[in-house]
Structure 1
Amino acid sequence: MPTDMFAQGIQSGRLNSEQYDANFADLHAPLNDHEALVAADRCYFCHDAPCITACPTDIDIPLFIRQIATGTSDAAAKTILSQNIMGGMCARVCPTETLCEEVCVREVAEGKPVLIGQLQRYATDGLMAKGVHPFERASPTGKRIAVVGAGPAGLACAHRLAMHGHDVVVIDARAKSGGLNEFGIAAYKSTDDFAAKEVDWLLQIGGIEIVHGKGLGQDMSLADLQSEYDAVFLGMGLGGVNGLGLEGDDKAGIMDAVDFISDLRQARDLSGVSVGRDVVVIGGGMTAVDAAVQAKLLGALNVTLVYRRSRARMNASAYEQDLAASKGVRIITNASPLAVHGNGAVREIEFEYTDDDLKPTGQSVRLAADQVFSAIGQSLVGDDLPAIEGRKIKVSETGATSVKGVWAGGDCAFGGDDLTVTAVAEGRDAAMDIHASLMGGAS
């Protein structure tokens, strides 16, 4: 890192080892057996449960909670995993407060939902700890499918295809599998290398080969994959990062929040991750919140998250906003970045106040900053892709693209909400459509 960045306050090792351990401990401690039984006992086991409808993967939530309540947590895990093979990670990162728990009858009546996410983790972690994989492959079909991207969508698709007896080759540009689960979420949401362990567990189904270090467009074309495989699933996510587009945004101290989170997630020693004294994060989504909170946990003195619209229009949930505030992150809304100031390295960043339609109010503010993280969205990267809609790949309800024999899902596909749980659902559903198409059913 350039010395002038250190002069501005960016440095590593701001805290001692005990502080790092405490700050980046599990956000929610796992439930013990007694706590799980107490939590499960609060469920009404609704017949027309709204929580099921609110779950993108359609998990039978009342059933798995009843199974926990009756002491059969392994059966509960299978109920979960039959719909969501990455139920362990989703239990950690899924915004349950805006999905299943938001519509829980207990939440509506009492303001305190059943702890659906934590119960899901209790069941899935218990089964995984035993090294048990509850599914078996069907007889080999002789069909080979290429899956581009080893993230949630690609892995869910690969697992379901493998269950049906197909051979799957997963191709990923990175050196490790997991996609955003491995590289893109806050470290305190997934501790103890869980993302990698979940991938290893998922691969126990057999029939899945993973090839790392190869990317679509660099090492092979879509046409190459079509000629070699019986079907192709595209689940490579969004590889591009939107820039600020400001004069001076190339100054030292400015970087993408996505890269910061990835570097932190892969760091084996948090004391080696550099962070500024005065950090500004630009954006209003989950990436912005994760970057801001982790900057504070790494020892930054002042962390400010700035979003161009109101709090109500932030993509990050109210829960995540409150979490950021509880960690000492200041949130400024209705302010758009105007200019970067500094000589070689950023010293201040100027914002212009706007209304919710982004019209300038004529007022501005300068924030001291020696480190700025941009979290204003990602973009699809690649040429020679299927038809695009809204800057993503256009897909049918089952993930079929405009190119025969090619499906897509996850963040690279149009229509989703960029959540791990949604990506899993799209990968799973595409796999079922691929299977039906290959075996003579309707595509």
Structure 2
Amino acid sequence: MDVKALASGITPGRLNKARIEAGFADLHPALDDHEALVAADRCYFCHDAPCATACPTDIDIPLFIRQIATGTPEAAARTILSQNILGGMCARVCPTETLCEEVCVRETAEGKPVEIGRLQRYATDALMAQSAHPFERDVATGKRIAVVGAGPAGLSCAHRLAMMGHDVVLFDARPKPGGLNEYGIAAYKSTEDFAAREVDWLMGIGGIELRCGMALGRDLTLDSLRVEYDAVFLGMGLGSVNALGVPGDDKSGVANAVDFIADLRQAADLTALPVGRDVVVIGGGMTAVDAAVQSKLLGALNVTIVYRRSQERMAASVYEQDLAQAKGVRIICNASPVAVHGNGAVREIEFEFTDDDLSPTGETFRLPADQVFRAIGQTLVPGDLPELDGRKIAVDGTGRTTLPGVWAGGDCAAGGDDLTVTAVAEGRDAAEDIHASLMEQANG
């Protein structure tokens, strides 16, 4: 920690270890056997289940809940994992309140949906506790595929390809695999090192070689991968963070929210992680909420999220917004930053109120701040890439890019909604198309 940051009030140990551990405990504790049976009994097992239609990975939700209800959670897990190999993490972080649970018939009738997410966790946790991997590799095809990015899309793609008999080399720029599951999700959503344990379990399929510390454009080139491998899948996410673009953005105490979350996720002792007294988070998505809530849980006195549009247009779900406010986070909307003030380190940040169309009103205000987090979106790191669609890699419905033999999915590809569950679906579907393409070539 630099001297300027300490002088500005960003210090560790604002709360004792016991209070921090309580704050960062599992947001949704696991169901026990009795609770799972009671929750499963509420399902109507709809024939044309809207919940299954709302699931980006097309899990047969009524089937797996029925399997739980009949006392076979391992079978339920296989139903889930056959469609979503990262079903354990998705059960923890997926915004079920705006997907499957939002359209649940119980939600429509009673305002209380079946707890689909917690039931999914119950089933997948039960299966992962077993030593044997539930899927087996098919007969070896002799094909080698490079997967760049060991996040949700890359892991999903690699597992499906390995299961179909291909050999996969999985590259990732960071020291550990997992992508946003490992580095970018609030610690209270994924406790007890679950992201790393899930990757280890997934790798149990065999046929996947992991190479960390290997980044596209630095250690790898797309041209060399296309020559060396039979196919390439790009799932490296978004590595660059948007700047505020206002005077003072470079002052000490101003940082990227994703870096703060990553540091927190990798910290061995949260009491040693510095946090300010007055924290301001700029943005309106899940990252903004995660940074704000965790700042509060670390002991920040005042935490404010400031978003440039109306609260109804925040990318964070209403549930996430309510969670933030329940933890003491203030949300200010229709305001954009215009300057960061301070002598070397941030002391205040100035905003201007905006209309719904982002037109400035001329009315400004300042917030005290010794720590400011940017959470205004990420962009693709430019470099050796296929053709782009806007700021992301252009793909068709199966994930094919404009370069023959190259597919892409997850946050780096155009068309998705930047959810873990969507990235899993895109990686899985690309793997199916890669397999079909390679087998067609082999049989042609």
Is TM more than 0.5 here?
yes
Provide the rounded CA distance (Å) in 2 between the counterparts of 1:4 and 1:434.
51
Counterparts in 2 of 1:27-426, with a 5 A limit?
27-426=27-426
Which amino acid in the other structure matches residue 4 of structure 1? K
Structure 1 alignment gaps of length 5 or more:
none
Kindly indicate whether the alpha-carbon contact (under 8 Å) linking 1:275 and 1:295 is maintained by their aligned counterparts in 2. Answer: yes
Structure 2 alignment gaps of length 5 or more:
none
| Shift, 1:215, TM fit | 0.6
CA distances 1:396-443 after superposition (whole Å, capped 9, x unpaired)? 111000000000000000000000000000000000000000000799
Provide the rounded CA distance (Å) in 1 between the counterparts of 2:275 and 2:395.
40
Percent identity over the alignment is 76
Provide the rounded CA distance (Å) in 2 between the counterparts of 1:242 and 1:369.
20
Which amino acid in the other structure matches residue 324 of structure 1? A
Provide the rounded CA distance (Å) in 1 between the counterparts of 2:220 and 2:299.
43
Which amino acid in the other structure matches residue 365 of structure 1? F
Structure 1 stretches (4+) deviating beyond 4 angstroms? none
Moved more, 382-391 or 106-115: 382-391
Provide the rounded CA distance (Å) in 2 between the counterparts of 1:259 and 1:97.
27
Which amino acid in the other structure matches residue 360 of structure 1? P
Provide the rounded CA distance (Å) in 2 between the counterparts of 1:277 and 1:205.
47
Kindly indicate whether the alpha-carbon contact (under 8 Å) linking 1:350 and 1:365 is maintained by their aligned counterparts in 2. Answer: yes
Moved more, 32-41 or 432-441: 432-441
Which amino acid in the other structure matches residue 437 of structure 1? S
| Shift, 1:264, TM fit | 0.2
Provide the rounded CA distance (Å) in 2 between the counterparts of 1:340 and 1:383.
31
CA distances 1:307-360 after superposition (whole Å, capped 9, x unpaired)? 000011000000000000000000000000011110000000000000110011
Provide the rounded CA distance (Å) in 2 between the counterparts of 1:382 and 1:254.
24
CA distances 1:101-141 after superposition (whole Å, capped 9, x unpaired)? 00000001110000000000000001101223110000100
Kindly indicate whether the alpha-carbon contact (under 8 Å) linking 1:158 and 1:170 is maintained by their aligned counterparts in 2. Answer: yes
Provide the rounded CA distance (Å) in 2 between the counterparts of 1:33 and 1:360.
55
| Shift, 1:7, TM fit | 2.1
Secondary structure at 2:340 match in 1: strand
How many pairs does the alignment contain? Answer: 443
Kindly indicate whether the alpha-carbon contact (under 8 Å) linking 1:257 and 1:374 is maintained by their aligned counterparts in 2. Answer: yes
Which amino acid in the other structure matches residue 53 of structure 2? T
| Shift, 1:299, TM fit | 0.2
Kindly indicate whether the alpha-carbon contact (under 8 Å) linking 1:216 and 1:382 is maintained by their aligned counterparts in 2. Answer: no
Provide the rounded CA distance (Å) in 2 between the counterparts of 1:20 and 1:177.
26
Secondary structure at 1:188 match in 2: coil
Provide the rounded CA distance (Å) in 1 between the counterparts of 2:123 and 2:10.
42
Provide the rounded CA distance (Å) in 2 between the counterparts of 1:300 and 1:130.
41
CA distances 1:52-99 after superposition (whole Å, capped 9, x unpaired)? 110000000000000000001000000000000000000000000000
Which amino acid in the other structure matches residue 114 of structure 1? V
CA distances 1:194-221 after superposition (whole Å, capped 9, x unpaired)? 0000000000000000001111111121
Provide the rounded CA distance (Å) in 1 between the counterparts of 2:204 and 2:7.
50
TM-score when scaled to structure 1?
Answer: 0.99
